[in-house]
């Protein structure tokens, strides 16, 4: 008989710590902190040890980082650039890449597709995209922000150029680019301008990058705001950081697209490259401990539940929590990220989950808004 043991931090747990390589003691001093105090403590932690590795000119800097931080080992699994603005995450059943195009890492002279300038269409080359546009914090010479691999990512040159300095947002417009990414009038409460909407697969990733930015650079936020108060995403404070509608959007995306193995691997790689981490990947719970949203609770709060007893026997997991009947689907993944079981409407007749005959190992149980890990021994 297999024994299933649940490892829980506190009462509730996210999958992030499963794969994270967090240095011992990295988050010392954060226990019992919330709000501005927690954010300021995290800012100190992730500032200490952060090395500015440079922007890179042909080689070096961010170009070097991308060889370990942004490689597609998750979708096509072919070692090409993982570009969130062109990646098509649909299941691949044909062996032919789903992406409309792909890029090889490196300079053109070495057989790669990186560039400084491309053409007026998709599929010419990839360059460096500041997920938070650099014009809002002083431009490419504003260091170390402009060189920070935690939020500067490789993307298609043309899509990057078309985005310009648009805010991320939500729109009812038709897709503008090959993977479904959109540009259009905002449909999200609090903003009526033009926005850039990435696909759902990466909304949480990008939200946590933006939250990292206002935490790492907390002491500089007022200066960033004063660059252009009329168009700034910042609100002039050191705590909230962004305009409230942006906080609402980021918290919504953080919940709807939980931390993935790919994101955890990227965090580990960036940490190895420049010496600091994104705390909202290691500890997704910090987000709601720091910021409050004016959206409804159901849009921005994680579903809280626990699994019991510990150990669990007979391949039967019992779940305790509020509003379990609202959970539409449960998915179970192994440590490699492969889905091993899917259960639709899992709690219509009770609070138990019958597992398939899982082999010994570590697994993640994932709902729409939360994840927990367990071990089969």
pLDDT digits (tens, 9 = 90+) for 303-351: 556 666 546 667 888 777 777 888 888 888 776 667 899 999 998 888 8
Residues belonging to the chain: 377
Long-range contacts of 266-272 (CB under 8 A, 24+ apart): 266/69, 266/70, 267/20, 267/150, 268/19, 268/20, 268/21, 269/65, 269/68, 269/69, 270/65, 270/69, 270/149, 270/150, 271/21, 272/68
Is residue 215 very low, low, confident or very high in pLDDT (cuts 50, 70, 90)? very high
Question: Average of pLDDT values for 89-112?
Answer: 88
Peptide bond into 309 cis (omega under 30): yes
- The predicted pLDDT at position 332 comes to 84
Fold topology of 3-13+303-376: Immunoglobulin-like (2.60.40)
Mean pLDDT of 109-118: 93
- Among residues of the chain, what percentage have pLDDT more than 90? 66
pLDDT of residue 292: 83
What average pLDDT does this structure show over 137-162?
Answer: 97
* Whether residue 191 has pLDDT greater than 60: yes
Instruction: Please state the pTM of the whole predicted model.
Output: 0.80
All structural domains of the chain with their residue ranges: 3-13+303-376, 33-293
pLDDT at 2: 36
Residue 29 has pLDDT above 70, yes or no: yes
SS3 of residue 24 by DSSP:
coil
Residue 10 has pLDDT above 60, yes or no: no
Q: For 165-188, what is the mean pLDDT?
A: 98
Average pLDDT, the chain: 87
Q: What is the mean pLDDT of residues 15-27?
A: 72
Q: pLDDT at position 312, please?
A: 61
Instruction: For residues 184-210, give the mean pLDDT.
Output: 97
- pLDDT band, residue 356 (cuts 50/70/90): confident
Structure tokens at 14: 């996210």
């Amino acid at each position: 008989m297999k024994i299933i043991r649940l490892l829980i931090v506190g009462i509730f747990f996210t999958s992030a710590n499963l794969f994270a390589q967090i240095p011992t003691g990295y988050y010392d001093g954060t226990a019992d902190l919330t709000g501005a105090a927690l954010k300021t403590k995290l800012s100190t932690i992730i500032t200490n040890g952060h090395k500015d590795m440079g922007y890179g000119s042909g080689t070096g800097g961010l170009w070097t980082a991308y060889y370990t931080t942004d490689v597609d080992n998750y979708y096509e699994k072919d070692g090409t650039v993982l570009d969130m603005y062109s990646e098509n995450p649909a299941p691949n059943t044909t062996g032919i890449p789903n992406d409309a195009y792909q890029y090889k890492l490196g300079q053109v002279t070495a057989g790669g597709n990186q560039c400084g300038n491309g053409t007026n269409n998709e599929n010419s080359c990839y360059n460096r995209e500041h997920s938070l546009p650099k014009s809002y914090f002083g431009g490419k010479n504003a260091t170390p922000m402009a060189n920070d691999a935690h939020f500067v990512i490789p993307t298609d040159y043309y899509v990057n150029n078309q985005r310009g300095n648009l805010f991320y947002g939500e729109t009812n417009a038709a897709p503008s680019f090959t993977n479904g990414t959109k540009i259009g009038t905002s449909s999200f409460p609090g903003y009526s301008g033009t926005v850039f909407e990435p696909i759902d697969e990466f909304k949480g990733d990008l939200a946590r990058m933006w939250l990292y930015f206002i935490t790492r650079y907390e002491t500089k936020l007022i200066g960033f705001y004063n660059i252009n108060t009329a168009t700034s995403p910042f609100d002039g404070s050191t705590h909230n950081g962004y305009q409230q509608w942006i906080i609402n959007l980021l918290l919504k995306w953080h919940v709807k697209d939980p931390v993935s193995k790919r994101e955890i691997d990227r965090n580990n790689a960036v940490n190895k490259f420049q010496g600091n981490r994104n705390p909202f990947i290691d500890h997704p719970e910090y987000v709601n401990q720091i910021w409050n949203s004016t959206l409804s609770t159901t849009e921005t709060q994680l579903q809280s539940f626990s699994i019991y007893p510990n150990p669990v026997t007979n391949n039967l997991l019992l779940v305790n929590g509020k509003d379990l009947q609202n959970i539409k689907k449960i998915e179970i993944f192994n440590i490699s990220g492969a889905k091993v079981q899917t259960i639709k409407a899992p709690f219509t007749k009770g609070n138990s989950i019958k597992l398939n005959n899982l082999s010994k190992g570590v697994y993640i149980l994932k709902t729409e808004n939360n994840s927990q890990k367990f071990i089969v021994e």
